[in-house]
Amino acid sequence: MQTFKIEKRYSSEILIEGEAETFREFVEKNKSNLRGSNLSDSNLSGSNLSDSNLSDSNLSGSDLRGSDLRGSDLSGSDLSGSDLRWVKIKVSQKEELLKALRIEIIK
């Protein structure tokens, strides 16, 4: 077992601290509690983050390949520069995902 910490997005204050075998496992165990977290540049490939609270979180530069984000709250989060190949989302999340990627849709 290893000890892991997740800091808040806008400060170095600890948001969550605990033990797990891997960082991915630690994030999955705390997925309902990740609002406002700093997960930038994290390797979370293949993670089950379905129904997680990632609102206002920094996930920029993270590896999320093959992760399940269905039902996750991505509002206000930053996913710029993240690897999102083969990520699963619900159709209802597409607008939120585009905003998190900093993509503007012109009508």
Average pLDDT over residues 10-16: 96
3-state secondary structure of 94: helix
Q: Under 8 Å CB-to-CB from 6, ≥6 apart: which residues?
A: 14, 15, 16, 17, 26, 27, 30, 34, 37, 38, 39
Lowest mean pLDDT among 26-35, 62-71, 96-105: 96-105
Average pLDDT over residues 53-61: 97
pLDDT, greater one: 2 or 102? 2
pLDDT tens digit string along 18-49? 999 999 999 999 999 999 999 999 999 999 99
Q: What is the pTM of this model?
A: 0.89
